[in-house]
Structure 1
Amino acid sequence: MLRSEPAMAQATGAAPRMAWIDICKGAMILLVVLLHSSSYFKAQGGEVPPFVTAATAFFAPMRMPTLIFLSGLLASRGLRKGARGFLLHRLRILLWPYLVWSVLWALASGHADRLVEPEGWLGGWYLWFLLFIMAFSIVAALVPLRFHLVAAAYAFLASLACEDGTKYGERLLFFLALFLVGSFLGRERERMEAWLGDRLLLWTLMPAIIAVCLYSAIERTIRYSPHDALPILIVVAGVLAAGIQVAGRHPLPLLQAMGRHSLTIYLVHMPVIAITLRGLPLVGISSFAPTFAMSVALGLAASAAMIAARRRYRAVDALFHFPGA
């Protein structure tokens, strides 16, 4: 019997997923698909309407920072049950799909030749997220959980010393700090949920969240940088608060499902977008609107098909999880 992502998490002692976490993850993974459907079109030489660029910049402070923080939060319980088991589990479910989908991505994007170069295995367009989470998991396993906040402070200071804008320097260390803050707060998740569940807090944060996102859309896109740490933390706190309060009133089953299978969606959508962008010009479609719509629709449809196929076919499940692990 094949295991879904939640089942695998429970079988290995990872934190059980909660509705608000799945809603937040589902919303953020949807924003990632929308982002990549426009940004990859632009990267291939297409012209993206200014309002679309502004819209993607509007959500920049929340997309990846929220996913990184929640990855740390969910890691906390697994770490409390044993660092060695946690690390082995993380490597099984992250390293294997990272390698498999690095190959599939290279083939889909037409850059199979890059696989013979070291740079071809460093995350490329979108797999850097898995590479980062693997690195963060190693650090989290090596540092005692009670010291994660201290380690986060050191990572933050190290990111300040890095050259601005470097993916494997400034961004890596800044996201490591965010991940470790999440894992540290996971020790008191119920208390954090009670604090974020206060409606007054969300209404208090809302003007600041809107201001940060508007600034990102109009003036300067918020970067994943220690220099933008405060606005990012405000927005992430607001997203979590909204998720907690929405989950208490509306189940939003579609977003919950997307959150439960966010890793599958993350892996699948980008190769499908690349194939779509390579294929549509062959049938005379090259403008932004239909290409964007098809990229989003096919990326999500292929993800849903893969999620269903994982439950039925071991060969498909092996694309996402080390066989027999």
Structure 2
Amino acid sequence: MRFFGKVGGMLAATTPSSAPVSTPAARMGWMDMLRGVAVLLVVVMHAADIPMTNGKGVDEWSRLHLYLEPFRMPMLMFLSGMLLPRALGKTLPQYAWGKFAAIVWPAVVWMLLFGFLIYHGGPTDPVYWRTGDYLWFLLALCACYGTAMLLKPVASRPVVMSLLCTGLFVAMILLRYHSEISQSLVNRTLYYGAFFFLGAACARLVVKWVNAPVSIVVGLGAVAVVLANLGLDDRSFRLGTPFSALTAILGIAVLLWIAPRVPRGNFTQILEWAGRNSIVIYVTHFPLVILIHRLMRHLDADPALYVSMCTVFGMALTLLMVRLRPWTAWLYVFPHHQRVAARLHNRAALGGSQQTQH
């Protein structure tokens, strides 16, 4: 636990489960925790899936990931969308620069790095860009933030903003459902990006939802479990359909209710730390897992041991990359982005003061 001691020390040691769950600090803590859980599950999933494609996988492990598939990436998108109303409160130049520096930049950097160093065919392969490979989520997030700029004029009108975002969610889910292009970046953006706008639509409602009666949450959880079980054998309950969207919504609702009630301690602090560094974990884990697999694939290891070693070493090296972030920051955010951000902030402040004088 000493490995995370400095990070954990910056957080409060404990938050009682009876503490109010609607304070801003509490919301940010549990949001980071959920994000950390989701992104670490992505690492575990890929550590199990890559051996499976080469006959070294464990069927039971793979079925567990099928059970989690309806919730994992929709949750990440939903949490990102919850922060959209606040982001749109900035000036358009501030908003655009912030998303370019922290999302577009690492997406381009890692598409090129992975394409040149690992992907067969390199970045010149059109299929690579049509699918986004493992970086599809980051590219979809870029598209969502780009589209969200159109909502800037209504950002100060919460009701209108929520209605428009809800409409976008429904339209994107239905468009994905009726699309016939399989596994393209466009389809993934339509389906998972819909949850980004759903998160933006629900941002103001979550504070009330976390105080919902236990009986309602238990009922929703039971339905989510049933639908997730159906999804083990029926893909329509896992991905790309209104049925899978319903499964995801129910699961997200239950998790949003539970997360603020989880007592904070050393383990939750680790998860929050992972959540705050989710961009590093996401972009680095897959190349590392592939390299580990390539080193191990000639070993005649038992499938369970093989998957376990890929998971343990993949997770350890990924978390090491997070620790190295102060020395490798340019891989995840545009170099010296603070200078541009400061100038834009000063310009916005100056413009605001001039308007006040007039």
User: Could you tell me whether the CA contact under 8 Å between 1:95 and 1:134 is conserved in 2?
Assistant: yes
The 5 Å alignment of 1:33-182 reads 33-43=43-53, 45-109=54-118, 111=120, 113-122=121-130, 124-143=132-151, 144-145=154-155, 146=161, 147-163=164-180, 165-182=182-199
Give the counterpart letter for 1:40 in structure 2.
Answer: I
User: Could you tell me whether the CA contact under 8 Å between 1:156 and 1:226 is conserved in 2?
Assistant: yes
Give the counterpart letter for 1:235 in structure 2.
Answer: G
User: Could you tell me whether the CA contact under 8 Å between 2:118 and 2:287 is conserved in 1?
Assistant: yes
User: Could you tell me whether the CA contact under 8 Å between 1:76 and 1:183 is conserved in 2?
Assistant: yes
Q: CA deviation at 1:81?
A: 2.7
Check 1:223–1:91 CA distance in 2 against 1; reply closer, same or farther (3 A cut). Answer: same
1:272 and 1:320 mapped to 2: Cα distance? 16
Does residue 322 (structure 1) correspond to residue 334 (structure 2)? The answer is yes
Does residue 295 (structure 1) correspond to residue 310 (structure 2)? The answer is yes
Check 1:64–1:228 CA distance in 2 against 1; reply closer, same or farther (3 A cut). Answer: same
1:251 and 1:297 mapped to 2: Cα distance? 17
The 5 Å alignment of 1:306-317 reads 306-311=321-326, 313=327, 316-317=328-329
Give TM-score, length-normalised by structure 2: 0.76
The 5 Å alignment of 1:216-227 reads 216-220=231-235, 222-227=238-243
Check 1:128–1:163 CA distance in 2 against 1; reply closer, same or farther (3 A cut). Answer: same
1:37 and 1:158 mapped to 2: Cα distance? 32
Q: Per-residue displacement from partner, 1:46-102 (whole Å, max 9, x unpaired)?
A: 242321221111111111111111111122211123344223211211121112212
2:117 and 2:49 mapped to 1: Cα distance? 16
Q: Secondary structure at the match of 1:65?
A: helix
Q: Which 4+ stretches in 1 moved above 6 angstroms?
A: 248-251
Check 1:248–1:222 CA distance in 2 against 1; reply closer, same or farther (3 A cut). Answer: same
Q: CA deviation at 1:308?
A: 1.7
User: Could you tell me whether the CA contact under 8 Å between 2:131 and 2:183 is conserved in 1?
Assistant: no
Give the counterpart letter for 2:81 in structure 1.
Answer: G
Q: Which stretch of the first structure deviates more once superposed, 167-176 or 50-59? A: 167-176
1:82 and 1:209 mapped to 2: Cα distance? 40
Q: Tell me which residue corresponds to 2:13.
A: none
User: Could you tell me whether the CA contact under 8 Å between 2:36 and 2:271 is conserved in 1?
Assistant: yes
Q: Tell me which residue corresponds to 1:262.
A: 278
Check 1:110–1:155 CA distance in 2 against 1; reply closer, same or farther (3 A cut). Answer: closer
User: Could you tell me whether the CA contact under 8 Å between 1:170 and 1:225 is conserved in 2?
Assistant: no
Q: CA deviation at 1:285?
A: 4.5
| Sequence identity percentage | 25
Give the counterpart letter for 2:48 in structure 1.
Answer: S
1:188 and 1:223 mapped to 2: Cα distance? 25
User: Could you tell me whether the CA contact under 8 Å between 1:152 and 1:177 is conserved in 2?
Assistant: yes
Q: CA deviation at 1:40?
A: 1.8
Give the counterpart letter for 1:295 in structure 2.
Answer: C
Does residue 304 (structure 1) correspond to residue 296 (structure 2)? The answer is no
1:247 and 1:82 mapped to 2: Cα distance? 37
1:90 and 1:235 mapped to 2: Cα distance? 28
Q: Tell me which residue corresponds to 1:9.
A: none
Check 1:188–1:249 CA distance in 2 against 1; reply closer, same or farther (3 A cut). Answer: farther
User: Could you tell me whether the CA contact under 8 Å between 1:98 and 1:127 is conserved in 2?
Assistant: yes
Q: Which runs of 5+ in 1 are unaligned?
A: 5-14
Q: Tell me which residue corresponds to 1:10.
A: none
Give the counterpart letter for 2:225 in structure 1.
Answer: I
The size of the alignment, in residue pairs, is: 305
Check 1:152–1:217 CA distance in 2 against 1; reply closer, same or farther (3 A cut). Answer: closer
The 5 Å alignment of 1:244-283 reads 244-247=260-263, 252-282=268-298
Give the counterpart letter for 2:285 in structure 1.
Answer: H
Q: Tell me which residue corresponds to 2:20.
A: none
Q: Which runs of 5+ in 2 are unaligned?
A: 1-6, 8-23, 156-160, 338-358
Q: Tell me which residue corresponds to 1:7.
A: none
Give the counterpart letter for 2:277 in structure 1.
Answer: H
Q: CA deviation at 1:134?
A: 0.2
